[in-house]
Amino acid sequence: MDKTVLNVNKLQTEFRMRRYTVYAVNGVSYDIHPGEIVGVVGESGCGKSVSQMSTLRLVPSPPAHIAGNAVYEGKDLVDPSNAEYLRSVRGGKIAMIFQEPMTSLNPVMKVGEQISEAIRLHMKLGANEARARTIELMKKVRIPDAEERYESYPHEFSGGMCQRLMIAMAMSCDPDLLIADESTTALDVTIQAQILEMLRDVVRETQTALLIVTHNLGIVARYADKIYVMYAGSVVEYGRAADIFTAPSHAYTIGLLNSVPRLDDDKDRMLMPIEGFPPNLQSRPEGCAFSARCTQKLPECASCSEFPLKMVGDGHYSLCINDHLDRSQRRSDTLFEAKRIPDETLLEIRGLHREFPVKKGILFKKTVGKVHALNDVNLRIRRGETLGLVGESGCGKTTLARSILGLISPTSGEILYQGTDLTKLDKRKTREMRKDIQLIFQDPFASLDPRMSIGSIIGEPLVVHKLTSGKAEYLKRVEELFIMVGLDPSLRDRSPHELSGGQRQRVGIARALASEPRFLVCDEPVSALDVSVQAQILNLLERLQRELGLTYLFIAHDLSVVRHISDTIAVMYLGRIVEKGDWKTLCKNPMHPYTRALLSAVPIPDPEIERTRNIEAIKGDVPSVSRLPGGCSFHPRCPYASADCAAAVPELRETEPGHFVACPVADAIRGAKSQAGSAE
């Protein structure tokens, strides 16, 4: 394996804007061998995507200036004089797959033509042969009815299917290297698992090298042979996947591994976030770029100008000059004190339905069908607990959150909050109730009014509900809120865009807490944040819960996060709760095939564990809620489905105390699995 596919050497990319320069990539070197799967990990803004785009000169230039070289078959792709050669390589021999599959396809062109366009260009095939090859490729990436779908337009495909098309397009000319740039980030976990499994099979079969760029440590642990960790435009550590995870040798890598919640964690482990936030790259970092956030830095870290890559093991290199890194924090035993949850109901949802009518007609619209967003949802949340709600996009979890807040009125059913039915309240009472029930949003930036100062954003609930009398009291209360969420009160007059992602989410939390609510609905509160910041916010939420006696409904698609924070977990699929129970029983002993699939779709950032895991990938896309399959809505994707499953909707039944499952075959599956397990 001494032949390299691509050799990148001292790559530098700068964006020279009129008034400042962004040093996005600072001397990145790597090489890739045939058939190898390489992972590049790092948080947003670390330059991992820009460096890949730079090797193919896909960054707009100007303002970008690229230096260094990227050698493919003896020729430097970065050299502008090889532009013609680069064009023949790009899309032919080296292909890229991007994050947003929906916008990466031309909306007004048939998908088949978009794929065959590259084939005709690079393989010099005629129209018919190109068509045949396109259809073959579409079959290879498992697109059903490939011949007919050739004529379809991008908007007729789901996100996952579009990503398959992008992969087909990338594979169309037998590339030597495939670069997947956050290519599954926008997809649901089960779809993500499907795509990655398929991608791995395809590259293994064709001996194509694959470079996965991602922020997800679990994905690289599951798939990569070799890993490059990037921070602030540099590769800070690289080596074989197993070495990186068992013997991380850069303080940043260690910090990163400590900050992610894992499926195999101790439940009450306090996450160890990396404090602070990544540097902006408008100046070349003096010393080690990470030193400002590093807990293990040496005096010379901040001043040293040259950091040579140091060999720390066989093929394992690191930039860190601290030879005595403490890796023990990794299995941190710092635990939160256990919560005592009284058996007292705070919120109860009974038989909640929400249908959206599908209207048709030109002048006088008539209802022709219904979208069942919520279908007989029953939940009970005890005072002081965290109920985690997991499910993929379109499963109805956001509809549920908004129904509780009175933003959507349910079709039928009751939402009892301390005995009051929230669905029966008029507009004024609902507004009044929002003092008690608050929401934390997914995207902290989008949920803050860009025209308002941080102080007035946090203080707005006080004004709206007239909670303070007099300016002095108002200011005092706002300052309290700043301190409560760990924000510096001197930031009061800043605008949201001047803050980092983590700070913004703190603002969102402070605003939600302003009216002293007792119940918080957290709708994907950390999924838009970088992993190191995610840990800060999760810890903050846990601390606040204990200090203020809050009750949370925590909605997320990431089971490892939900498992980490929740006391009780409910799993939703297409508007129904399919399984619910105590976190421990549910995670140790998942009964519903969907829960099992979700759990196995989440990769654990540890290659040792990943190697032995049995991945239960489920087939197919999440069906549209407007055309729900009859019976158990999961049966078309379920590997264990029998004829009965299509006949009747399974009831939630209690299989062990506090553990409810809506699956008739759950027991049988578990029996079979445990037998198989013991046999091995």
Residues that bind another protein (rule: CB under 8 A) add up to a total of: 64
Q: Which of 5, 11, 70, 95 binds another protein (CB under 8 A)?
A: 95
- The residue to which tokens 């499926």 are assigned: 263
With respect to another protein, which residue has the nearer C-beta, 282 or 303? 282
The verdict on 644 binding another protein (CB under 8 A) reads no
> In the complex, what is the shortest distance from the CB of residue 453 to another protein, in angstroms, rounded to a whole number?
11
CA distance 655 to 221: 34
Residues between 512 and 571 that touch another protein (CB under 8 A): 512, 514-515
User: Among 136, 104, 99, which Cα is nearest to 119's?
Assistant: 136
Per-residue binding string, another protein, 41-80, x by CB under 8 A, is ---------------x-x----x-----------------
The verdict on 303 binding another protein (CB under 8 A) reads no
> Residues 6 or more apart from 353 whose CB is under 8 A from it?
372, 374, 375, 376, 377, 410, 411, 412, 413
Contact 30, 8 (CB under 8 A): yes
**What's the token pair of residue 177?**
């290297």
- The residue to which tokens 């980092």 are assigned: 500
CA distance 578 to 599: 14
With respect to another protein, which residue has the nearer C-beta, 250 or 511? 511
Q: Near another protein by CB under 8 A, which window of 92-100, 141-149, 262-270, 627-635?
A: 92-100
Residue 274 is classified by DSSP as P
Q: Near another protein by CB under 8 A, which window of 113-121, 135-143, 317-325, 326-334?
A: 113-121
Residues between 169 and 228 that touch another protein (CB under 8 A): 169
The verdict on 166 binding another protein (CB under 8 A) reads yes
Helices 111-123, 159-171: axis angle to 10 degrees equals 10
Contact 16, 63 (CB under 8 A): yes
> In the complex, what is the shortest distance from the CB of residue 546 to another protein, in angstroms, rounded to a whole number?
24
Q: Which of 11, 25, 96, 641 binds another protein (CB under 8 A)?
A: 96
Contact 507, 454 (CB under 8 A): yes
Q: In what order do the strands lie in the sheet with 37-41?
A: 94-97, 177-181, 209-214, 37-41, 226-231, 234-240, 316-318, 310-313
The verdict on 405 binding another protein (CB under 8 A) reads yes
Q: Near another protein by CB under 8 A, which window of 442-450, 473-481, 603-611, 670-678?
A: 442-450
Per-residue binding string, another protein, 117-156, x by CB under 8 A, is xx--xx------------------------------x-xx
CA distance 221 to 199: 15
Q: What SS3 class is residue 289? A: coil
- Within 10 A of 674 (CB to CB), how many other CB atoms are there? 11
The verdict on 627 binding another protein (CB under 8 A) reads no
Q: Which of 55, 438, 503, 551 binds another protein (CB under 8 A)?
A: 438
Q: Near another protein by CB under 8 A, which window of 73-81, 95-103, 211-219, 349-357?
A: 95-103
Alpha carbon 487 to chain centroid, angstroms: 25
The verdict on 104 binding another protein (CB under 8 A) reads yes
The verdict on 370 binding another protein (CB under 8 A) reads no
The verdict on 470 binding another protein (CB under 8 A) reads no
> In the complex, what is the shortest distance from the CB of residue 422 to another protein, in angstroms, rounded to a whole number?
14
DSSP 529-596: S-HHHHHHHHHHHHHHHHHHT-EEEEEES-HHHHHHH-SEEEEEETTEEEEEEEHHHHHHS--SHHHH
With respect to another protein, which residue has the nearer C-beta, 106 or 303? 106
With respect to another protein, which residue has the nearer C-beta, 329 or 453? 453
Q: What SS3 class is residue 14? A: strand
Residue 386 is classified by DSSP as E
Q: Which of 13, 291, 447, 534 binds another protein (CB under 8 A)?
A: 447
With respect to another protein, which residue has the nearer C-beta, 114 or 192? 114
Residues that bind another protein (CB under 8 A): 17-18, 56, 58, 63, 87-92, 95-96, 98, 100, 103-109, 114, 117-118, 121-122, 153, 155-156, 166, 169, 359-363, 405, 407, 431-432, 434-435, 438-439, 441-443, 446-452, 460-461, 464-465, 508, 511-512, 514-515
